[in-house]
Amino acid sequence: MSDSLILEVANIETDVLTGIYSEETGRPQPLRISISVALKPEAFFTPDTPLSASKNYMDIKFAATSGLPTDVHFTLIESVGDHIAETLFLQDDRIERVTVKIVKLAIAEAGEEIGMTLTRYRRG
């Protein structure tokens, strides 16, 4: 059994051009995004282990905020999830898996969470 390190950034709220319905297209939709990243861990983390032995959480958050193009309309939120995963894979070769959960806030009527969870593994 191998060790694993899961880094998480949860409940990022950001506006993204996405949607298929006429009332959704042409304007950003509010999304709540949570990301889980599986990273190959160091053999052991000591009190003085440098940040380079892990991953900066702000880099993970960036993939769901500034890393998303503001001029591209994503028809499906699944494609938003894929863009986030690919951004993270390109950032760091140690990332083995990315899970992205996206909730569409604008279509909730009674506090329910409507959205999807996508998991991608590094290929090749």
- For 23-50, the pLDDT digits (tens) are 767 789 999 999 999 998 877 899 999 9
Is 92 a residue whose pLDDT tops 80?
yes
Rounded distance between C-alpha atoms, residue 60 and residue 87, angstroms: 9
- List all residues 6 or more positions away from 51 whose beta carbon is below 8 Å from its beta carbon: none
- Give the mean pLDDT of the chain: 92
The fraction of the chain above a pLDDT of 70, given in percent, is: 98
What pTM was computed for the model? 0.92
Domain CATH code at residue 16? 3.30.1130.10
Contact 34, 61 (CB under 8 A): no
pLDDT band at 77 (very low <50, low <70, confident <90, very high): very high
Task: Give me the number of domains the chain comprises.
Answer: 1
Average pLDDT over residues 47-63: 94
Residue numbers of the domain that contains 65: 5-121
